[in-house]
């Protein structure tokens, strides 16, 4: 934990060995030889479906030094390396210098408002000794007048932040890639310099574009249902927590089989279907047909007594088992279409074949009773 008096985030650099010179810089690194590695704070911000770009806010701790005379504060990012270069979609949209109050939100310091992209700063950063070879650099600058810093309370910190964006498909090229920060001013003796001992890689929290994407792989499929089933007994249900909030798909503050039903609606909408996926539609192709029954009976879990079953192994009522209650439920509400998705039947005189015949006979009986 860093001393709050050292402040938080990147801005304009003041060299420590020039502390006796007139104060004309804006911010500086808090790092020292003894200091541990300073972490980057990262939050997912948004996804723009028009531009197909995701945005993240990244912040680092720094010191803020008000200039005694009007100065142009400069800051920037070097991203990528010779090994993994920044993807073409990667951009740094803006820079801010702010104040974090305890565990609350950041707010910008008005004196630093107006950072604009600056190609000259980017070029200077690219030419610094120590900037990663093969990296792409982004620079920003803004004029800053003399001002008084607001007092810091315990746990407060000054921060320098950048808003970055990239295409969702470039997540792997951005996550874990090399990143460097720098800051300085246009004043003699205080040029832009690289910050030292800051986290060298960008470790992004995962993002999702749709509520049904529970495993953050940017699609809604059976693997997302596996995640939901793995949370616990959905038949009984349980209260949601902050950690499980994303799984409360129907917003009733509980995680239960109703969230499975809501997932089936949201996933169908994700794939452009008018109706929710039906119980029994194991492969999620929009039809509950013979191929779905073949798939689950070949899996061999019907009436096995083994708990921990999922949608793909026949547990359609989310009680952890694949048994007659699932087939009854599926045939009652699952819109079974025997002519859909016809596939070769299992070999005669095998358990899957027998179970399939019994199930189809049961479906015929249900329809007859109706």
Is position 344 within any domain?
yes
Overall residue count recorded for the chain in this entry:
370
Contacts (Cβ under 8 Å, ≥6 apart) of 251: none
Least confident of 103-107, 166-170, 273-277, 337-341: 337-341
**H, E, C per residue of the chain:** CCCHHHCCCCCCCCCHHHCCCCCCCCEECCCCCCCCCECCEEEEEEEECCCCEEEEEEEEECEECCCCCCEEEEEEEEECCCCCCCCCCCEEEEEEEEEECCCCCEEECHHHCCCEECHHHHHHHHCCCCCCCCCEEEEEEEEECCCCCCCCCCCCEEEEEEEEEECHHHHHHHCCCEEEEEEEECCCCCCCEECCCECCECCCCCCCCCCCCCCCCCCCCHHHHHHHHCCCCCCCCEECCCCCHHHCCCCCCEECHHHHHHHHHHHHHHCCCCCCCCCCCCCCCCCECHHHHHHHHHHCCCCCCCCCCCHHHCCCCCCCCCCHHHHHHHHHHCCECCCCCCCCCCCCCCHHHHHHHHHHHHHHHHHHHC
Is position 202 within any domain?
no
Is position 271 within any domain?
yes
pLDDT band at 28 (very low <50, low <70, confident <90, very high): confident
- Please tell me the distance from the alpha carbon of residue 257 to that of residue 99, in angstroms, as a whole number: 44
Overall domain count for the chain: 3
Q: Are 85 and 179 part of one and the same domain?
A: yes
Q: Are 267 and 319 part of one and the same domain?
A: no
Is position 201 within any domain?
no
Q: Are 29 and 76 part of one and the same domain?
A: yes
Q: Are 97 and 189 part of one and the same domain?
A: yes
User: Which of 255, 277, 299 is the last residue in one of the domains?
Assistant: 277
Is position 199 within any domain?
no
Q: Are the C-beta atoms of 174 and 56 separated by less than 8 Å? A: no
Tell me what pLDDT residue 338 has. Answer: 72
Q: Mind listing the pLDDT tens digit for each residue in 266-323?
A: 999 999 999 999 999 999 999 888 888 888 888 888 888 899 999 999 999 999 999 9
Q: Would the pLDDT of 20 be above 60? A: no
Q: Are 109 and 163 part of one and the same domain?
A: yes
Q: Are strands 71-79 and 106-108 parallel, antiparallel or unpaired?
A: unpaired
Is position 365 within any domain?
yes
Is position 42 within any domain?
yes
Q: Are 166 and 254 part of one and the same domain?
A: no
Q: What is the pTM of this model?
A: 0.73
Q: Mind listing the pLDDT tens digit for each residue in 146-175?
A: 988 888 888 888 999 999 999 999 999 999
Q: Are 262 and 327 part of one and the same domain?
A: no
Q: Are 44 and 188 part of one and the same domain?
A: yes
Greatest extent of the chain over all pairs of C-alpha atoms, in Å: 94
Q: Would the pLDDT of 340 be above 70? A: no
The token duo for 142 is: 């803004």
Task: Compute the average pLDDT of residues 33-47.
Answer: 84
User: Which of 277, 304, 326 is the last residue in one of the domains?
Assistant: 277
Tell me what pLDDT residue 300 has. Answer: 84
Q: Are 117 and 57 part of one and the same domain?
A: yes
Q: Are 42 and 189 part of one and the same domain?
A: yes
Q: Are 259 and 165 part of one and the same domain?
A: no
Domain that holds residue 268: 208-277
User: Which of 258, 277, 296 is the last residue in one of the domains?
Assistant: 277
Q: Are 45 and 137 part of one and the same domain?
A: yes
Is position 203 within any domain?
no
Tell me what pLDDT residue 240 has. Answer: 94
- Please tell me the distance from the alpha carbon of residue 27 to that of residue 185, in angstroms, as a whole number: 9
């Amino acid at each position: 934990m860093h001393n709050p008096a050292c402040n938080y985030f990147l801005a304009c650099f003041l060299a420590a060995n020039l502390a006796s010179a007139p104060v004309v810089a804006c911010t500086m690194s808090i790092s020292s030889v003894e200091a541990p590695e300073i972490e980057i704070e990262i939050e997912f911000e948004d996804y723009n479906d028009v531009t197909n770009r995701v945005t993240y806010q990244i912040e680092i701790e720094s010191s803020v030094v008000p200039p005694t005379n009007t100065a142009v504060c400069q800051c920037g990012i070097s991203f990528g390396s010779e090994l993994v270069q920044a993807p073409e979609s990667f951009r740094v949209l803006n820079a801010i210098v702010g104040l974090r109050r305890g565990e609350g939100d950041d707010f910008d310091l008005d004196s630093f408002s107006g950072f604009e992209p600056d190609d000259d700063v980017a070029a200077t950063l690219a030419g610094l000794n120590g900037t990663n070879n093969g990296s792409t650099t982004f620079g920003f600058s803004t004029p800053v007048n003399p001002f008084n810093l607001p007092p810091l309370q315990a746990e407060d910190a000054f921060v320098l932040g950048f808003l970055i964006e990239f295409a969702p498909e470039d997540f792997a090229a951005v996550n874990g890639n090399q990143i460097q920060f720098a800051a300085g001013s246009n004043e003699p003796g205080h040029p832009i310099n690289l910050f030292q001992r800051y986290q060298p890689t960008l470790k992004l929290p995962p993002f999702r574009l749709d509520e049904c994407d529970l495993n953050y792989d940017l699609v809604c499929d059976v693997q997302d249902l596996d995640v939901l089933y793995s949370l616990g007994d959905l038949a009984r249900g349980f209260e949601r927590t902050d950690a499980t909030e994303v799984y409360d798909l129907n917003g009733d503050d509980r995680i239960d089989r109703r969230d499975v039903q809501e997932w089936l609606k949201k996933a169908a909408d994700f794939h452009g279907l008018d109706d929710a996926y039906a119980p029994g539609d194991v492969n999620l192709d929009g039809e509950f047909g013979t191929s779905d029954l073949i798939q689950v009976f070949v899996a061999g879990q019907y009436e096995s007594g083994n708990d921990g079953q999922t949608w793909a192994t026949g547990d359609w009522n989310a009680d952890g088992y694949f048994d007659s209650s699932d087939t009854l439920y599926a045939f009652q509400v699952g819109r079974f279409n025997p002519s859909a998705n016809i596939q070769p039947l299992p070999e005669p005189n095998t358990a899957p074949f027998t179970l399939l015949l019994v199930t189809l006979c049961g479906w015929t009986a249900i329809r007859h009773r109706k």
